[in-house]
Amino acid sequence: MAAAPLMAQPLQLQQPKPAAARPAAPRPLPLPPPRPAGLGLSSPATAASSPAQPAAAVASAAPAPAAAQPAAAPTKGKVAAPATQEEAIERLNAYLNSFTTLQGNFIQFAANGRRMEGRIYIQRPGKMRFDYEPPVTTEIIADGTSVAVRDKRLATQDVYSIGQTPLKFLVRERMDLAREGTIKGASIDGDLLSVRIEDRSTLGGTSKITLKFDLVANELRQWIVVDPQGYETAISLYNLDTRRRPDPKYFVIDHQRAL
Q: How much is the pLDDT for 60?
A: 29
Residue 79, pLDDT above cutoff 90: no
Q: What is the CATH number of the domain that holds 172?
A: 2.50.20.10
The whole-angstrom distance between residue 51's C-alpha and the CA centroid of its chain comes to 10
151-191 pLDDT, tens per residue?
Answer: 988 888 999 998 888 878 788 888 888 887 888 989 999 88
Residues 215 and 186: their CA atoms lie apart, in Å, by 13
Task: Tell me, yes or no, whether 132 lies in a domain.
Answer: yes
Q: How much is the pLDDT for 167?
A: 77
- Tell me how many domains the chain contains: 1
Query: Highest mean pLDDT range out of 31-45, 63-77, 229-243?
Result: 229-243
Task: Tell me, yes or no, whether 256 lies in a domain.
Answer: no
pLDDT level of residue 21 (50, 70, 90 thresholds): very low
Residue 47, pLDDT above cutoff 60: no
Task: Tell me, yes or no, whether 92 lies in a domain.
Answer: yes
Task: Tell me, yes or no, whether 117 lies in a domain.
Answer: yes
Q: How much is the pLDDT for 208?
A: 93
pLDDT level of residue 78 (50, 70, 90 thresholds): low
Residues 184 and 197: their CA atoms lie apart, in Å, by 5
DSSP assignment of 145-192 equals SEEEEEETTTTEEEEEEGGGSTTHHHH-SS--HHHHSEEEEEEEETTE
Task: Tell me, yes or no, whether 113 lies in a domain.
Answer: yes
Task: Tell me, yes or no, whether 89 lies in a domain.
Answer: yes
Task: Tell me, yes or no, whether 213 lies in a domain.
Answer: yes
Task: Tell me, yes or no, whether 101 lies in a domain.
Answer: yes
Instruction: Indicate whether this model's pTM tops 0.75.
Output: no
Residue 27, pLDDT above cutoff 60: no
Structural domain of 212: 85-241
Residue 259, pLDDT above cutoff 80: no
